[in-house]
Amino acid sequence: MDDNKRQFQIHLPGLLKVLAENLYSTPKVAVRELLQNAHDSCVRRSVEDKRPSARARIDVRIDPDAQTIIVQDNGSGLTEDEVVQYLSTIGRSYTRQLGENLSLMSPEVSEKLIGQFGLGFLSAFLIASQVTLTTRSMKPDSPTYQWQSNGDIHYDLKTVDDAPIGTQVKLLVKPSVAYLLNESVLVSAIQHYADFLPIPVHVNGSSMAVNAIHPPWEAIDPTIATQDYIARKFAMEHPLAVIPLHDHKIDLGHDSITIPMRGFLFIPPSSTASIQEYGDLSIYIRRMFICENQRDLLPNWARFVRGVIDCPALEPTASREELRREEVYLLVQQALEQQLSASLHELARTDTMRWKQIVRGHRDVIMGWAVKNNDFFEHIASIVTFRTTRGHLTLPGYLALTDDAVYYVTHDMDNKQEQMLGEGFGMPVLDASRFGEIGFLQKYVDYHPRVRLVQMDSGTNRFMHPVPEEPFARVLAYYRSRKIRVQIMAFKPDVLPAIISYPKEAEFVRDARSALDTGDIPDAFAGMIGAYLSKMTVDEESLAGALYLNANNAFVQALVTVEDDEKLEPVLDLLHQMARLLAGRLLDAEKITALFENTNTALTRLIQ
Amino acid sequence: MSRQYVQLWPWFNEFGRQARIANDQERLRLYKIDDNAFEHREKNPQHALALRREGVALAERLHEPCMALFYEYRVVEVLIFHLARYEEGLELATRIVAKASQEAYVTCPARARVFITLISAYFETDALSYTDEITAMIETMENNIPLDDDTHRRLFAYRAKLAMELHEYDKAMEEALKYLEISASSAFRSTHAYGILGHLAYLQNNDRQALDYTYLMQETALRASQQASLAHSYGWQALLLFLQGESQEAQRLFMLAVAEANTLSLPKELNLLYGKCRYYDARGEYEKSLFLWDEQVQLMNPKTLQRQTYFYTFLRRCFVLRQMGRLTEADIEQTRQAAHRMRKPDRYLAQIEELHDGKTEIPRY
């Protein structure tokens, strides 16, 4: 023997502590592990015991006074060898061994077994300071054994008085998790993890099982059962659609593979980007709950879909609270995307109203992802509605009113002159200020090259036509004498006498210059900002905006006839200030004060 | 003067907490947009941009100026680091620095982040012309602007990267190691630091050390769920293993890098372009490398004036053509023209001279 070869030493209490305390996210997982062991034991008995005497069941009893929880099954029980081999050898899984044994004689049953890592029983020490297991094997003439451990390196194993066939696990509950001794808490944990477990779980002798036993997709009427389940579990009474999942055959080119899956996807009534997006699944493997809020199995664009899936092909991690991202995971992703896409296509084809409800209810989320996914975009492009000055319209509906152009603004349409200009030309203006709307419009144009996008808030003079200045010379001269940039133009609507247009960069230039002047910008940065500003071609006068008088407006036309300067000047001042208010930009407190001073002066002149 | 610190995330999270307590759905949405956008930054950066812009608009509508500034800084980040829209990033960075300098924003915890965006923007558009200015901005931030932890770390990163651009490798290594040291508590920053260190070691022909750093980059990228960095780390390891004669493992890692990069929607120039070309060059597969650089030339917008990537694309292409014996004066002139687009072309032009150095290998880059 090689003298240099040494053996690892294992500090069992430390290992137990690490496994028990760090492997799992919550102590309640211990409940799942114990129920799962009980389930597997019952499955084994159903196969191996030729003369089963009772229907399989699991009983959970709580004794708050004794601080104990007992989990008892009438399954196969364990022999002395099995207790030593599987219960007291970390990493050796009783269920995995059993699965291998059963796979030849009863493969369909072996697939029902859940455990496999040989670590689950350790989780009992998450919630118990002492674990006592009493078991009697179904094998003829088996004695009853009692195994006891305090979670350290030692355990006791002895024979005791005969007990019924099966296994009883008694947990002396740690004070830190005493809340599990509350019946409602424990029942809730059982329902969380083992609702679909096919063996009834009874608590404190109740004749009614606390778990549902049958998942909704196995009910006699799966449609109604699923609706009920969604209402109960997800608190959603009226999902817009429910899509049952089924086994899925995936073509691999040289071969094909069938992914076994059950469950359903559903579409809630509405979502909101960022705040209430979905795209999540609750995952079960062989009916045992693994995790919820799993967001990577559904395609990215399906953030308006939720669901529940039971897929034995998925592989859990050792803690069984996550999924392993292996090849089969990708295949399940693919299967889900294909089934979801096919169902949505079918829905769009056969139930147009419902499809529209879906697209409108999840508008933000759907629009965002449609920009990225061409196939998806094509299905929803004509259904999504936009806010316009004529109410909510789809793009085809909107384009029917315009000359194949989309006149849009990128800020909220509250009180903006651009709307009036657009409407003046008989064009509804579309509000594209919300999430993803511009990207969506741009993509729409890619698909429909005849359509033009016209941004209304990037420059207004595209809706104006120059007219001769001469008839308005006195009016224009007055403004110019006051260093106001002014032009006479013809534009719609006629009712609008004047507007002010500011250069795109005006706010930035004004703020940056002000910050540079006051020395607010730290030196090293000031140089960079100054250099940047110097490259811009915005002068002081243009910063004040350009006033456009509307030659179509009857009042503006009437101004030409006013000969008395005393009357004309205050009216022109008022007209200018009205236009500034309508534009609503670049008005800080100081400027608003000046505006009202000017207005007051003008009004005073008029009444004197 | 002792450095002042600010806390960005406690402020941000408190905003979310208050919104939740008040059941203020709009402010809660404003708070959550950032997480959502961050999640999409590599797989759907357009989506991330749209979300962040919505954040700006929503914050303005809710009269939350500091939140608006925060989201504007986030917009710059996605423009520069995930969409390679450098000029837009520079323009917005300039605007928000001017804005953040105003009295009203002095106490806004996002202020330091805003200032560093201007450094990022100049660094990515024309680093060699603005070395003095970038250095001055770093010093100003270090001494005069209250910093949050992450911004403080990034200043070290920029010092290291600037020294690397100037081929001052010892200084770069020193700064990068400091960067790594103060980034110990952040897997995200550690990934970046290991990336810089790996690149530096490679440039100094220390392939063994570079391999170690890029392996550590992989580990931290996995921890921080940084897929683009993960792809880069695989790409680096593939190259370095190939150079050490382990071609089979190198090829496996290269395929892994490409597969990882293919799941992202980043612009090609940010998505393993350099990693792929370095690897192909090392293997002597110049046609493949040339194809990628040519493709990049097609993708670039010649109207953008200050893009160093424009210059480097032509330069790298020239080196590949030289290896293939197909370099023409027209190719060099094209590169020279690209150099003249920069504010101070000298340092860029000097790199073109290396094409005539008589060496038979592509210099490391």
Q: Write the secondary structure of A190-209 as one string of H (helix), E (strand) and C (coil).
A: HHHHHCCCCCCEEECCCCCC
Range(s) for CATH 3.30.565.10 in chain A? 13-203
Domain A13-203 CATH assignment equals 3.30.460.20: no
Residue B131, CA distances (Å) to B122, B128, B149, B198, B345 in order: 9, 6, 24, 23, 13
- Three-class DSSP category at A498: strand
Structure tokens at B20: 């939740």
* CA–CA distances in Å: residue B210 to residues B184, B186, B204: 19, 21, 9
Ranges of CATH 3.40.50.11260 domains, chain A: 384-460
Q: Largest Cα–Cα distance of chain A, in whole Å?
A: 124
Half-sphere CA count of B213, side-chain side, radius 13 A: 24
**Angstrom distance (rounded) from CA A220 to CA A218:** 7
A415 has a pLDDT exceeding 50: no
Q: Chain B: residue nearest A512 by CA?
A: B98
- Nearest CB partner across the interface for A529, out of B25, B54, B94: B94
Chain A residues closer than 8 Å to B57 by CB:
411-412, 433-434
C-alpha–C-alpha distance, residues B39 and B54, integer Å: 16
pLDDT band at A100 (very low <50, low <70, confident <90, very high): low
Of A371, A411, A511, the CB nearest to B46: A371
The answer to whether the CB atoms of A524 and B94 lie below 8 A apart is no
With 0-12 / 13-18 / 19 or more C-beta atoms within 10 angstroms meaning exposed / middle / buried, residue A375 is exposed
What integer is the mean pLDDT of A430-444? 83
pLDDT of residue A586: 56
Average pLDDT, chain B: 92
Q: What is the 3-state secondary structure (H, E, C) of chain B?
A: CCCCECCHHHHHHHHHHHHHHCCCHHHHHHHHHHHHHHHHCCCCHHHHHHHHHHHHHHHHHCCCHHHHHHHHHHHHHHHHHHCCCHHHHHHHHHHHHHHHCCHHHCCCCCHHHHHHHHHHHHHHHHCCCCHHHHHHHHHHHHHHCCECHHHHHHHHHHHHHHHHHCCCHHHHHHHHHHHHHHCCCCHHHHHHHHHHHHHHHHHCCCHHHHHHHHHHHHHHHHHCCCHHHHHHHHHHHHHHHHHCCCHHHHHHHHHHHHHHHHCCCCCHHHCCHHHHHHHHHHCCCHHHHHHHHHHHHHHCCCCCCCCHHHHHHHHHHHHHHHHHCCCCHHHHHHHHHHHHCCCCCHHHHHHHHHHHCCCCCCCCC
pLDDT mean across residues, chain A: 83
Query: What six digits make up the tokens of B119?
Result: 């450094």
**Rounded to a whole number, what is the distance in Å from the CA of B130 to chain A's nearest CA?**
10
Least confident range from A350-354, A501-505, B141-145: namely: A501-505
Asked if residue A39 lies in contact with residue A199, where contact means CB atoms within 8 angstroms, the answer is yes
Residue-level pLDDT at A121: 77
Report yes or no: A324 and A317 within 8 Å, Cβ to Cβ: yes
Q: Assign A56 to helix, strand or coil.
A: coil
Strand A288-294, strand A306-310: pairing: unpaired
Residues of A in contact with B28 (CB under 8 A): 275
Confidence of residue A581 (pLDDT cuts 50, 70, 90): confident
- Going from the C-alpha of B268 to that of each of A207, B199, B275, B276, B309, the distances in angstroms are 65, 20, 11, 11, 12
- Tell me A411's DSSP state: S
B339 domain residue, yes or no: yes
Residue B259 in domain: no
pLDDT for residue A327: 79
| A103 pLDDT above the threshold of 60 | no
> What CATH fold (topology level) applies to the domain A384-460?
Rossmann fold (3.40.50)
Please determine, for residue B159, whether its predicted confidence score (pLDDT) is greater than 60.
yes
CATH of the domain at B47: 1.25.40
Total domains in the fold of chain B: 2
- In the prediction, which pLDDT does B156 show? 96
A62, β-bridge pairs: A69
Residue A435 CA to residue A116 CA, distance in Å, equals 47
**Lowest mean pLDDT across A103-112, A133-142, A173-182, B59-68:** A103-112
Query: For residues A149 and A325, which has the higher predicted lDDT (pLDDT)?
Result: A149
Asked if residue B22 is part of any domain, the answer here is yes
- A272: chain B residues, CB-CB within 8 Å: 29
Q: Single out the residue in B107, B129, B151 at which a domain terminates.
A: B129
* Closest alpha carbon within chain A to B16: A275
Q: In b/e form, how buried is each residue of B87-125, taking b as 16+ CB within 10 angstroms?
A: bbbbbbbbbbbbbbbbeebeebbbbbbbbbbbbbbbbbb
Chain A residues contacting B via beta carbons under 8 Å = 272-275, 277, 300, 368-369, 371-372, 411-412, 433-436, 438-439, 508, 511-512, 514-516, 520-525, 527-529, 532
Cβ-contact A416, A584 below 8 angstroms: yes
DSSP letter, residue A142: P
Q: How many CB atoms lie within 10 A of CB A515?
A: 21
The pLDDT assigned to B38 comes to: 92
Q: Following DSSP, what letter does each residue of A419-479 receive, concatenated?
A: HHHHHHTT---EE--STTHHHHHHHHHHH-TT-EEEEGGG-SGGG-EE--SGGGHHHHHHH
Residue with tokens 């083992």: A194
Hey, which of A132-141, A318-327, A524-533 has the most confident mean pLDDT? A132-141
Chain A hits for B99, Cβ within 8 Å: 511, 515
Which tokens hold the place of B70? Answer: 């925060």
What residue type is assigned to position A96 of the chain?
R
Q: What percent of chain A has pLDDT over 70?
A: 85
Q: Which pLDDT belongs to residue B282?
A: 96
Give residue-wise pLDDT tens across range A338-381.
899 889 888 877 888 888 888 888 887 788 778 777 878 888 88
**Contact between B94 and A434 using a beta-carbon 8 Å cutoff:** no
CA gap B121, A573 in Å, rounded: 44
Q: Select from A300, A514, A521 the Cβ nearest to the Cβ of B44.
A: A300
Q: How far is A192 from chain B (nearest CA, A)?
A: 26
Query: In which domain, by residue range, is B350 found?
Result: 285-365
> Is A219 within 8 Å of A291 (Cβ atoms)?
no
Q: What is the mean pLDDT of residues A97-101?
A: 62
pLDDT for B307 beyond 90: no
Calculate how close chain A gets to B161, using CA atoms only, in Å. Answer: 19
CB B53 within 8 A of CB B97: no
pLDDT band at A322, cuts 50/70/90? confident
In chain A, count H helices and then E strands. 22, 23
Rounded-to-10 torsion of CA B49, B50, B55, B60: 110
Residue A296 to chain B, least CA–CA distance (Å): 12
Q: pLDDT for B325-337, tens place per residue?
A: 999 999 999 999 9
In angstroms, the CA A479 to CA A598 distance is 14
More confident residue, A86 or A141: A141
Which residues of chain A does B147 touch, with a Cβ-Cβ cutoff of 8 Å? none
In 10 A of CB A164, how many CB atoms?
A: 12
Q: What is the pLDDT of residue B238?
A: 96
Q: Do A522 and B144 touch (CB under 8 A)?
A: yes
Task: Answer yes or no: are the C-beta atoms of B89 and B76 closer than 8 Å.
Answer: yes
Say which amino acid occupies A547. L
B11, amino acid identity: W
Mean pLDDT, rounded, for A594-605 = 81
Enumerate chain B positions whose Cβ falls within 8 A of a Cβ in A.
25, 28-29, 32-33, 36, 43-44, 46-47, 50-51, 54, 57, 61, 91, 94-95, 97-99, 101-103, 115, 118, 122, 133, 136-137, 139-140, 144-145, 265
Among B129, B153, B173, the domain boundary falls at B129
Q: Which amino acid is at A506?
A: A
Question: Average pLDDT for residues A77-93, to the nearest whole number?
Answer: 75
What are the distances in angstroms from CA A18 to CA A94, A323, A382, B72, B210? 21, 21, 56, 45, 35
Q: Look up residue A143 and give its two tokens.
A: 């004695």
B246, pLDDT greater than 90? yes
> What is the C-alpha to C-alpha distance for residues A382 and B212, in angstroms, rounded to an integer?
53
Residue A425: phi, psi to the nearest 5?
-95, 10
Lowest mean pLDDT among A67-76, A245-254, A535-544, B247-256: A535-544
* Cβ within 8 Å, pair B118-A521: no
C-alpha span between B97 and A508 (Å, rounded)? 11
Using the 8-state DSSP alphabet, how is residue A120 labeled?
Answer: G
What local confidence, expressed as pLDDT, does residue B1 receive?
44
Pairing of strands A288-294, A155-160: unpaired
Q: Read off the pLDDT of each residue in A39-47 and give the average, rounded to a whole number.
A: 87
Query: Shortest Cα distance from B3 to chain A (angstroms)?
Result: 16
Confidence band, pLDDT 50/70/90 cuts, at residue A406: very high
Tell me which of B4, B42, B54 to substitute to probe the interface with A (most A C-beta atoms closer than 10 Å). B54
CATH of the domain spanning A463-607, picked from 1.20.120.790, 1.10.287.610, 1.10.3720.10, 3.40.1390.10: 1.20.120.790
pLDDT digits (tens, 9 = 90+) for A155-200: 889 999 999 999 999 999 998 889 999 999 999 999 999 999 999 9
- For residue B75, give the nearest of B59, A122, B62 by alpha carbon: B59
CA distances from A80 to A37, A86, A87, B38, B267 (A): 17, 10, 10, 55, 64
The answer, yes or no, to whether residue A114 has pLDDT greater than 70, is: no
pTM for the complete prediction? Answer: 0.58
Q: In the structure, what pLDDT confidence band is assigned to residue A117 with cuts at 50, 70 and 90?
A: very low
Last residue of a domain, one of B79, B108, B129: B129
Pick from A274, A516, A523: CB nearest B36: A274
Band (A517; pLDDT cuts 50, 70, 90): confident
Distance CA B105, CA A577 (A): 30
Task: Give the confidence band of A426 by pLDDT, cuts at 50, 70, 90.
Answer: confident
- Nearest CA distance, A371 vs chain B (angstrom): 8
> What is the separation, in whole angstroms, between the first and last Cα of chain A?
120
What does residue B97 show for φ and ψ, rounded to 5 degrees? -65, -40
pLDDT band for position A480 (cuts 50, 70, 90): very high
Lowest mean pLDDT among A380-389, B51-60, B77-86: A380-389
Which of A271, A274, A333, A367 should be substituted to probe chain B, the one whose Cβ sees the most B Cβ atoms within 10 Å?
A274
The reply to whether residue A435 touches residue B54, judged by beta carbons under 8 angstroms, is yes
Mean pLDDT lowest among A184-198, A522-536, B36-50, B269-283:
A522-536
Cβ-defined contact of A435 to B50 (cutoff 8 Å) = yes
Question: Is B228's pLDDT higher than 60?
Answer: yes
Question: Could you confirm whether domain A216-341 is CATH 3.30.230.80?
Answer: yes
pLDDT at residue B168 above 70?
yes
